[in-house]
Amino acid sequence: MPLATAGWTKKEGSLPLKFHDFKNEIGEMKNEFHELKREIVENKFKFPEFKNALSGQIAL
């Protein structure tokens, strides 16, 4: 999103502070992504069918 449309005004704060906010948001999203990835890996080992499906095998 262009900074001009990101709701930034001179009254709200300086551009570096707004950039810092966006950077923090991206960091939080990365953490959530890694947490979800970890859950997928944990579930893969809890459910063998899921593990087999992920590796391209069909479990009957």
Give the rounded percent of residues in the chain with a pLDDT score beyond 70.
53
Residue type, 60: L
pLDDT digits (tens, 9 = 90+) for 12-23: 556 777 888 888
Report pTM.
0.46
Residue 40 pLDDT level (bands cut at 50, 70, 90): confident
Please state the rounded mean pLDDT for residues 21-50.
85
User: Closest by alpha carbon to 22, among 49, 1, 36, 43?
Assistant: 1
Tokens of 42: 């944990």
Question: To the nearest whole number, what is the mean pLDDT of the chain?
Answer: 73
pLDDT, position 52: 63
- At 58 the three-state DSSP class reads coil
